[in-house]
Amino acid sequence: MRYTLFFLIGMSFLACKPDKKDEPKPDTDLITGTYAPEDYPLNLPKWMPPLPASPGNSLTKAGVALGRMLFYDPILSRDSTQACATCHQQAKAFTDGLATSPGIRGQNGTRSAMPLVNLAYNTRGFFWDGRSVALEDQALLPIEDHLEMDDTWENVERKLRRHKDYPQQFRQAFGISRKTELTRDLVVKAISQFERTLISAYSRYDRVVWAKEDFPTDEEQRGLELFFIEYAGNQAHPGCSHCHFNPLFTDNNYHNNGLDNVPNLNAFKDLGRGKITGFMTDNGRFRTPSLRNVALSAPYMHDGRFKNLEEVLENYSRGGHGVANEDANIMAFPLTQQDKSDLIAFLKMLTDTSFVNNPAFSNPFKR
């Protein structure tokens, strides 16, 4: 009788316990925490123009910090061996020092990694051919390019959603409340925010010409005068500032700068801008890179064909090849050894050591 009573009491106790199946499960998709965005301050010197607006993606402290982490994190590549920063290294003005860069498969692309400088000012398209209208569009493409990071966006989204830190950081930057809201659109917004902060405006040239803090050497002054000559039909040297003008030292436009001798406009090995627009007259045209920090970004041209600045100057002094759409300022002109030395001294004035050593632009994973 005693055992029967204990059995009945035990059964009654078990019957009162709630079934675990009926207990609410934790919401593993939910992201908690505060969302209080703060504007990211960009203190530009007076000689730089105001930044164009970036509708729908204003700079915030949390967004820029997140973008910096993503820029340096190899998690965005298929095998987690390459990051954006692999081909865009701060010490080399955010290039990699190679003519063309290998992706994670070990295969090289066909074009040189462009320097990342003052991208916020570019409103004429990104990549050498301008295929992406905005920075956000540009950041989408390397992830799935088989010659670059070779992943899929679906897989990248999964990796970031499962990460121990990133969901909370995306909430702080963009106010999302669920991991499923962490999408590629927000990834590229964050990367673009960081890239828009990569402003170079404090080179020796800026300190001499704009801030009046120093004086040019005789060599630098002669190079400056050669560089800024405006061709008037009676000068031997056409000048360089038609495409590389103050203060950005680029027009961010597309030019055939006389590199290739082809029989017709359809014979270029790389059609450049023409492949994007479909206009034959754009074949062989490529975006003008900024000359800021140019002494750090060798090799040069869209395919990295010139190893140093001396080769670049030699090429321009020879003039073009008479191809129909060559820029009107491409013409042969004499350059003495002194002229070349002077021009290179001037170009080195455009090196911004504060830019390539700025801790705000460096790898956040290295302390």
Give 123-160 pLDDT, tens digit per residue: 999 999 999 999 999 999 999 999 999 999 999 999 99
d(CA 324, CA 110): 24
d(CA 168, CA 105): 32
Rg (CA), the chain: 27
Give a yes or no: residue 299 inside a domain.
yes
The whole domain housing 214 covers: 204-351
> Total domain count for the chain?
2
Task: For the chain, give the percent of residues with pLDDT over 70.
Answer: 91
Give a yes or no: residue 365 inside a domain.
no
* 237 assigned binding-site residue: no
Give a yes or no: residue 364 inside a domain.
no
> Per-residue confidence at 249, pLDDT binned at 50, 70, 90?
very high
Give 190-235 pLDDT, tens digit per residue: 999 999 999 999 999 999 999 999 999 999 999 999 999 876 565 6
Helix axes 337-348, 218-227, angle to 10 degrees: 90
346 and 242 part of one domain: yes
281 and 214 part of one domain: yes
Query: Residue 21's pLDDT is what?
Result: 59
Query: Residue 6's pLDDT is what?
Result: 45
69 and 168 part of one domain: yes
Could you list the beta-strand ranges (E) of the chain: 254-255, 286-287
Query: Rounded to 10 degrees, what is the CA torsion of 176, 182, 186, 190?
Result: 90
327 and 278 part of one domain: yes
Q: Global pTM? A: 0.91
Query: Residue 25's pLDDT is what?
Result: 65
151 and 217 part of one domain: no
Give a yes or no: residue 325 inside a domain.
yes
96 and 233 part of one domain: no
Last residue of a domain, one of 179, 200, 221: 200
84 and 147 part of one domain: yes
> Per-residue confidence at 187, pLDDT binned at 50, 70, 90?
very high
184 and 295 part of one domain: no
* 243 assigned binding-site residue: yes
d(CA 194, CA 61): 10
Last residue of a domain, one of 200, 230, 255: 200
Question: Residue 141's domain is classified under what CATH number?
Answer: 1.10.760.10
Give a yes or no: residue 363 inside a domain.
no
Give a yes or no: residue 8 inside a domain.
no
Q: How far apart are the first and last CA of the chain?
A: 73
Query: Residue 5's pLDDT is what?
Result: 44
d(CA 135, CA 54): 9
90 and 160 part of one domain: yes
* 84 assigned binding-site residue: yes
> Per-residue confidence at 14, pLDDT binned at 50, 70, 90?
very low
243 and 328 part of one domain: yes
**By C-alpha distance, which of 277, 260, 276 is closest to 268?**
260
d(CA 319, CA 364): 45
- Tell me the average pLDDT across 26-43: 90
Last residue of a domain, one of 147, 177, 200: 200
Residue 317 has pLDDT above 50, yes or no: yes
Give a yes or no: residue 191 inside a domain.
yes
* 88 assigned binding-site residue: yes
Give a yes or no: residue 124 inside a domain.
yes
Alpha carbon separation from 361 to 93, 112, 197 (Å, rounded)? 11, 21, 8
Local structure of 155: helix, strand or coil: helix
* 244 assigned binding-site residue: yes
Q: Which residue stretches of 90-152 are H helix?
A: 135-144
250 and 152 part of one domain: no
* 240 assigned binding-site residue: yes
d(CA 118, CA 292): 9
279 and 344 part of one domain: yes
